[in-house]
């Protein structure tokens, strides 16, 4: 008697069903799928741990920032920057908790306050360097950092660079009042280096785009003042 051979679905010309395919894949790639599952579980745990760590870091940085800001308010900039005793200064807080990717909100705020403290201490080069590293999600605060860089350039008599920073600050800012104010600073820089045509264009734009703001009022006064010098 001949042995009876059972034909497989493929030998019979029958296309495997979806269930057959899934079973085949599950068996063949079982190890890989288990590994992927373990990876996802670990990833989920890692994200949870990272979020918990971020919350703890924010609490720590917020408490440290609260302790040092009174020195800043009193104009004691050196102490605000370097700290006193067990009270961490803005520099240490920023170094520990600020950053583009893993920084905390309070840590990033510390970097902005640090830059302002350096500027108020007339350490313009250091202030400019810190302003350029500030990473903060709030648009108006991010704009404040750009404007701070502009202030540093003005202090260094680099008015073209200052104007560029102020214009970027105006674009970044969300508040209309700030948009107008920063653009007015930019126009003032062009006026300072006698680029009156460019200054006039900006002043005119401010008056047209931001009526009723302090910047628009200042721009209008400047237009009156330079009108006789344009021709």
- Whole-number Å distance between alpha carbons of 9 and 224: 91
pLDDT classification of 20: cutoffs 50, 70, 90: very low
Mean pLDDT in residue range 168-178: 95
- What are φ and ψ of residue 101, in 5° steps? -105, -45
Range 199-204 contact pairs with CB under 8 angstroms and sequence separation of 24 or more: 199/226, 200/226, 200/230
Higher pLDDT, 129 or 10: 129
Per DSSP (E only), the strands in the chain are 83-84, 87-88
Model confidence pLDDT, tens digit, residues 126-169: 999 999 999 988 999 999 999 999 999 999 999 999 999 999 99
Position with higher pLDDT, 128 vs 49: 128
- Look at residue 60 and tell me whether its pLDDT is greater than 80: yes
Chain center to CA of 109: 10
Taking a C-beta distance cutoff of 8 angstroms, is the pair 98, 111 a contact?
Answer: yes
Residue 165 in tokens: 């920073």
Q: Which one has a higher pLDDT value, 28 or 184?
A: 184
Q: How far apart are CA 111 and CA 117, in angstroms?
A: 10
Per-residue pLDDT tens over the stretch 73-107: 999 999 999 999 999 999 999 999 987 766 788 88
| pLDDT of 5 over the 90 cut | no
Rg of the chain, C-alpha, whole Å:
30
Q: Which domains does the chain have, with CATH numbers?
A: 20-121 (no CATH), 138-231 (1.25.40)
Residue 32 has pLDDT above 50, yes or no: yes
Q: What is the pLDDT of residue 55?
A: 74
pLDDT digits (tens, 9 = 90+) for 195-231: 999 999 999 999 999 999 999 999 999 999 988 665 4
* Pairwise CA distance, residues 209 & 123, whole Å: 35
Q: What is the pTM of this model?
A: 0.75
- Displacement of CA 12 from its chain's centroid (Å): 64
More confident residue, 27 or 111: 111
């Amino acid at each position: 008697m001949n042995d009876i051979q059972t034909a497989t679905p493929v030998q019979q010309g029958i296309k495997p069903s979806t269930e057959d395919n899934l079973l085949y894949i599950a068996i063949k790639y079982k190890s890989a799928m288990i590994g992927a599952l373990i990876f996802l579980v670990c990833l989920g745990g890692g994200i949870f741990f990272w979020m918990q760590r971020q919350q703890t870091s924010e609490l720590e940085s917020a408490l440290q920032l609260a302790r040092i800001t009174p020195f800043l308010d009193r104009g004691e900039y050196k102490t605000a920057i370097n700290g006193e005793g067990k009270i961490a200064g803005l520099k240490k807080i920023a170094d520990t908790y600020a950053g583009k990717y893993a920084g905390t909100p309070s840590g990033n705020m510390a970097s902005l306050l640090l830059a302002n403290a350096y500027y108020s201490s007339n350490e313009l080069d250091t202030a400019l360097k810190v302003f350029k590293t500030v990473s903060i999600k709030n648009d108006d605060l991010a704009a404040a950092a750009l404007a701070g860089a502009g202030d540093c350039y003005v202090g260094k008599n680099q008015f073209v660079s200052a104007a560029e920073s102020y214009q970027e600050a105006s674009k970044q800012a969300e508040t209309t009042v700030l948009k107008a104010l920063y653009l007015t600073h930019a126009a003032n820089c062009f006026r300072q280096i006698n680029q009156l045509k460019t200054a006039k264009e900006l002043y005119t734009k401010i008056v047209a785009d931001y009526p009723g703001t302090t910047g628009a009022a200042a721009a209008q006064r400047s237009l009156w003042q330079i009108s006789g010098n344009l021709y």
